[in-house]
Amino acid sequence: MRLTRYTDYCLRVLMYLGVKGDELATIKEIAERYDISKNHLMKVAYELNRLGYIETIRGKNGGMHLRLAPEQINLGRLVRDTESDLAIVECFATNGHCSITPSCVLKDVLGEALDAFFSVLSQYTLHDLLGPKHDLGLLLGVQQREVRQPHQLR
C-alpha cells in the first residue's frame, strides 16, 4: 500500500504545527521548510481545516494552528479521512471487473492486511510523531520557545 502525496503533506503540515505549538504558521513558511508547493499546501490546509484538525485565521497576521491537541489526532482516522481511494486492487472497487472475483481469496487476504495496517496506525497519534520536539524544531527551522514550568510552592 502506498499513501498519496496528499496524505503525506497532511501529515507533514500537522507535524509542523505540532512543533510550533500555539504559534501560528503560514503556508509559505511550511512550503519553504519542506520545499514543497504552496498550491498543494493551500489545498491541504483547506481540507485539514474543513475536517477540524486545524484552525485557519485569515488576514495580514493570520496563519494556522492545530485545533486539537496532538494527543487527540489519531493517525488511523487521519489517513482514512485523507485517502480518497483505499481500493488497493481492482476487486475492492465498486465497479471492479475482475473475472475471478466471485471465487478469489485475494480480496479477503488483502482486506485483512488493510485492516491490520489501519489497526497499527490507529494505535498512534500526532503526539507520537512529534517525538523530541527540539530535534524536529531544529530540522524544520522552528524556533523553540522556552517552556515555563509552573511555579512550585515552597
* Segment 68-87 mean pLDDT: 91
Does the pLDDT of residue 45 top 60, yes or no? yes
Q: How far apart, in whole angstroms, are the C-alpha atoms of residue 93 and residue 73?
A: 28
Does the pLDDT of residue 147 top 50, yes or no? no
Q: How far apart, in whole angstroms, are the C-alpha atoms of residue 50 and residue 77?
A: 15
For residue 125, list its beta bridge partners: 74
Phi and psi angles of residue 73, each rounded to the nearest 5 degrees, phi first: -100, 100
Residue (of 125, 137, 154) closest to 17 by Cα position: 137
pLDDT category, 149, cuts 50, 70, 90?
very low
pTM of the model: 0.82
- Predicted local confidence at residue 96, as pLDDT: 66
**Average pLDDT score over the chain:** 86
pLDDT category, 57, cuts 50, 70, 90?
very high
Does the pLDDT of residue 17 top 60, yes or no? yes
* Segment 1-9 mean pLDDT: 89
The reply to whether CATH 3.20.20.80 applies to domain 5-140 is no
User: Does residue 44 contact residue 5 with C-beta atoms inside 8 Å?
Assistant: no
So where are the chain's domains? 5-140
Instruction: List, for residues 85-140, the tens digit of each pLDDT value.
Output: 776 666 666 676 777 777 888 888 888 988 999 999 999 999 999 977 668 878 88
